[in-house]
Amino acid sequence: MPSLSVFGAQWGDEGKGKLIDLLAQDADYVVRYQGGANAGHTVVVGGQKYVLHLVPSGILHPAKVNVIGNGVAVDPIKLLEEIEGLRARGIVVDGKNLRLSAGAHVIFEHHRLIDQCAERWRGEGRIGTTGRGIGPCYADKAARTGLRVCDLLDPSTRRARLRAALAEKNELLLQVHKEKALDLEGQLDQYTALAERLRPLVGDTGKEVRAAYRAGKRILFEGAQGALLDIDAGTYPFVTSSNTGPDGIAAGASFPPRQLDQILGIAKAYCTRVGGGPFPTELDWEKEGTPGWHMSTVGAEKGVTTGRCGWFDAVAVRYALDIAGADGWIVTNLDVLTGFPEIRAAVRYRVAGGETRDWPAEASSVERVEPVLTSRPGWTEDITGVRRYEDLPAAARAYVEWLEMEVGTPIRMLSVGPDRSQVIARGLKPW
């Protein structure tokens, strides 16, 4: 199967980076199709930790082509910082192994400022944005007032479009947010220099990926945020500004949907949530000694972006895999649950009028559900060195098999530690 979609089946931070890095060993192309630098993939290789925000996770493998598709909101400053950081650690990054779509929209300083100011204005209605300008950039894209990478590279277009954008954005900054206006010439100087540094990476990436697929190359599409943060299918308005699952690939990578051959979701053995918004199984993850604190501490959940912790939510994961049409899923962080005398999980929601196994049709209703929890026996054995499924403790195997039965989709792989080698294959290989 030459094309594979891997996406997060919870609210983000599911461990996608590590698994995508692992699967990239057998891929030819690794394609990012949505999101911006608000995403964070952590990959541990030989004890060395790499945090990737815009660059696809395949960059740590030689001879892989990594693609930033047209659906990604690209901050040139952050992208170039990330590239230079990788180069400083001996990773080769050039126009051969990193390709940037000419059609990707560009995040400017005014996007970041407006994002941060708007969040302050919302008060208790904050949606938990990272303040990196992704939402305002996507808003300009929909309003047809944004600048793409190709516009940034063309001097006359760059000046005309940025002048028009700042005419509006400066008034917003001055009159509404009481901030200083941005200087057009200063912004042009800064972004012109950035554009020239990006130029060797830029091309028609959709055409390149479609041609690679026709040539029999293996294409891996990496989702940047969880399915429950999807702007259409997630817990709106506490979501990101793009389509995070495989439904975003056709538009965000210019890749035909009928040529997507396999879809795998990724979910933790418990649950975490990035940003604000409803989280039915959330635990107190700041009080030392509690189950939530254990998950947060042992699972290092306060790292890449943010992290709230709770018990596994079968209702949410079942929904995420269902809307994606997933062929299977991967369970991560199973090792974090070691030591719990019992492990709890939500199997249904209690709502007005009774109980349901279904995700609420109105996302706002998630704020009002009560999780119906069940308990499974825990285990105490260290499983971080286990590489064969049959070598797991009986209680760990029972928990995995219960997850599979409850969610109703086969589990293809387990992760038992942060390193790319700490995985257990279960069932058919994805490729």
Give me the catalytic one of 13, 28, 313, 327: 13
Conformational region of residue 104, where left means phi above 0, alpha means psi within -120 to 50, and beta covers everything else: beta
How many other C-beta atoms are found inside a 10 Å radius of the C-beta of residue 427?
12
Catalytic residue status for 110: no
What is the C-alpha radius of gyration for the chain, rounded to an integer number of angstroms? 22
- Among 41, 53, 61, 110, the one annotated catalytic: 41
- Tell me the angle at which helices 155-171 and 109-122 cross, rounded to the nearest 10 degrees: 20
CB 383 within 8 A of CB 335: yes
| CA gap 58, 64 in Å, rounded | 6
Asked if residues 95 and 261 have their Cβ atoms less than 8 Å apart, the reply is no
Instruction: Report which of 42, 8, 40, 2 is spatially closest to residue 22, judged by C-alpha positions.
Output: 42
Torsion over CA of 89, 106, 97 and 217, rounded to 10 degrees? 140
- What is the distance, to the nearest Å, from the Cα of residue 426 to the centroid of all Cα atoms in its chain? 24
Q: 294 catalytic, yes or no?
A: no
Q: Which residue type does 307 have?
A: G
Q: Is residue 261 a contact partner of residue 212, using CB atoms and an 8 Å limit?
A: no
CA atoms of 16 and 22, how far apart (whole Å): 10
Distance between CA atoms of 313 and 246, rounded to whole angstroms?
21
Catalytic residues: 13, 41
